[in-house]
A and B are shown apart, each in its own frame.
Chain A
Amino acid sequence: MRSVFVLGWLLASAALAQAQGDRVSAGGYFRISARPDWQGGNGRLGFWNLYGRLMNEGSYAALELKLDLLQAAPESNDLWASVHARVEGGSVGAADPGNGSLVNFRLSQLYARAGNLLLDKVTWQVGTLVYFFGDLGLYDLRPATVFDDTMGLSARYQSKNVDVLIGVGDSGFFNRGLQYSPMLTAGGAVRVRLGDHVELGGGGQLAYEASIDGDRYTPHQTPNVAYEDFLRREVAQRYVQDNPGQELLFPKPAAASAAVPFRVVGYLGFGKLGPLRWNNFFVRYGRLAPEQSYVESYQGRDYTIYTADLTRDRYQLQLGNEMQLKLVPDRLDAVWGVVYGRDTDFANTLKPTDANRTYVSTVLRAQVYLTRTFHLLFEGSLAQERSSLGNAYRAHYDSIFQSTGGISDSRGLEFGDLSVRNTVQMKAGVVLNPTGFGVYARPSLRLLYGVQHSNQQAAFGNGFSDSLSQFNQFPGSEVHWHHLISLEAEGWF
């Protein structure tokens, strides 16, 4: 009788509560793949996701835990609070060289949130502050992101039509790591919804890194450094040759002016118009934080070269657009993306690097729904990367390495015999989506075939020769086509 009573009490208790989530919950993301590469590659079709994320990215996993410290009652404005922690990294056992080692993972985010505290409709966040306006899913790029490097405090006001985010903190550890230098960072973002069909947004962040007397990690510059010597890592050699016997008098670094890296982002979204589900356009322009220092060794002695002034004028521009289309409901969807970028290092006028280039790409993906869960996927991409300062790529397996104007030159600052890299990729395969229709419905189980053609020799991560000494041992052969089969899974949870 007593047990019946207890059972009845338990059942009654279970029936009392409304639908409340657990205090502890978890979400995350994973992608894993098996891509044996019989052409000597490392399992990725091309160098990077400019050609579409599909088959150009490796394994990745993220797990975010959330603890509700206080749960607000439904339809109330009670105080609520939660703590989030995210661990993520790019390695999975047997899927990549890292073999799932936890060394490849990091606690990328940890923050506490509280709402209905002091101000109505405002969420306070202390900890990591990353915020983005949206995603270019085809590229796995989020150009309009702010505070991805900042630890601090933010307040976000949310209403039906307007969101406002302001934040302040320190991005020194993200940018400097062990060579920490405080970087006061402040910024914000505004998003405005104009009806159901249009959204506008904009924002940015500004950091300030001052030179602190006696702090070797704050901005300093070694005086009288010629840029070419810096590029060749021959500053110390030049000094010793010009000042024989005066190694101990190598110039001391001088305090440089404060570094002020910044970022401005913009967003335009529109959609829910006929077959157009949504279109996202993002723009981002910013100046990078200058580099700090590096060490040169010459004649058995180490020299630290400080480079704040040599590296402070590096800018990045990136624009991206992605359009999602429902062409035939429950039969055919398509996504079309375009990305343009320009990286500029105004101090460097001599050597082609990724800091002086333009790139443009377009990717089109179509997904045909044979059944609710069984789909066919087709994707094609065209991309061009152009070096702004001369040759940066090798066209043939026996192309020269160091060069000047494409002519062999062991002191040349150019590389190879191409200044433009053109890349074409095509991918096709079958997709199993247990949750049904949608290009981005997940989880997805995919069996894909991909092919790439590039005018660059072996334009994919590989173990081929990348120096003259290696070439003498492993000369290789001409490779412009790259074929790959991928068995992969991806999902959010």
Chain B
Amino acid sequence: MVLRALLLGVGVVLSGCLPKVAPQRLEQPAALAVAIVVDDEVQVPDAFRARLKDVAQSRNLEVREVPVAQLQGQRLTAERFAALRAATDAPFALLVEARTRFFSQIEGRYRWSVPVKLTAARAGTAPSQDAVDLPALLQFEHERGSEALENVAEPLVSRVAPLLDGMLVGAADAGLAAPAASAGSPQ
């Protein structure tokens, strides 16, 4: 009886480590130029950058962050993205634009809204976009925009991943390294 319970427990534990379906992955590493633009003077937290880096690395993409200053003060997405591509020779580019706005106090939490717009393209193709309004649930009043960004890093990654995968499909046709199936680490 005890053994059965133990086995059941181990099974439950292992279920948290189920192998993930492999993401698209390049055979050879390639550079991904990334620019993160957050309006309203919010510092981008390291944890937010780290999660973006994780999801790129799992696809054999090496993140090269382009400082916002190199976007030449552009305010429109199309022009920011053009500036990003002009600032680097990386074959892949990803522009992350976000805002952080306080929503309300809900059941003991400070809820913020983080609208995020993702624009990505590989060299020689038109950019693809995704936009999402993510909720950030913070515990303390002193936590503001930067913490809100960190709070949404995980759900944001789930939006970035399919965008990157979409870019990688057909990369071989574009003369870039071909995607390959791999065991793939979790996102």
Contact = CB atoms under 8 A, between A and B. Distances in A.
Interface in B140-180: 140-142, 154-155
Interface string B99-137: 101011111110101011101000000110101010101
Given A75-B40, A370-B16, A15 B141 contact: no
Contacts of B16: 370-371, 373-374, 432
Nearest to B16: A374
Contacts of B40: 74-75
A142 interface: yes
Given A15-B129, A75-B41, A135-B108, A25 B142 contact: no
Interface string A109-150: 000000000000000000000111111010010100000000
B142 A199 contact: yes
A178 interface: no
Interface in A466-493: 492-493
A492 B139 contact: no
A76 to B, nearest CB: 9
Interface string A409-448: 0000000000000000000001010111000101000000
B27 interface: no
A18 B137 contact: no
A269 B106 contact: no
Contacts, number: 123
Given A14-B129, A19-B99, A29-B106, A492 B135 contact: yes
A36 interface: no
Contact of A18 (B17, B107, B117): B117
B61 interface: no
Interface residues of A, number: 52
A3 interface: no
A27 interface: yes
B108 A142 contact: yes
A16 B106 contact: no
Nearest to A30: B107
A19 B115 contact: yes
A25 B99 contact: no
Which interface residue of B40, B111, B131, B139 has the most chain A CB atoms within 10 A? Answer: B139
A423 B105 CA distance: 32
Contact of B139 (A86, A135, A193): A135
A396 interface: no
Given A16-B76, A74-B99, A21 B140 contact: no
A-B residue pairs, 9 tightest by C-beta: A374-B16, A135-B108, A74-B39, A21-B115, A19-B117, A19-B97, A15-B78, A29-B107, A492-B137
Interface of B: 12-13, 15-17, 39-41, 75-78, 81, 97-99, 101, 103-109, 111, 113, 115-117, 119, 126-127, 129, 131, 133, 135, 137, 139-142, 154-155
Given A15-B81, A19-B115, A133-B141, 19 more contacts: A15-B78, A17-B76, A18-B76, A19-B39, A21-B101, A27-B104, A29-B106, A64-B104, A66-B104, A134-B139, A137-B108, A191-B141, A199-B141, A280-B140, A370-B13, A374-B17, A430-B12, A434-B154, A442-B137
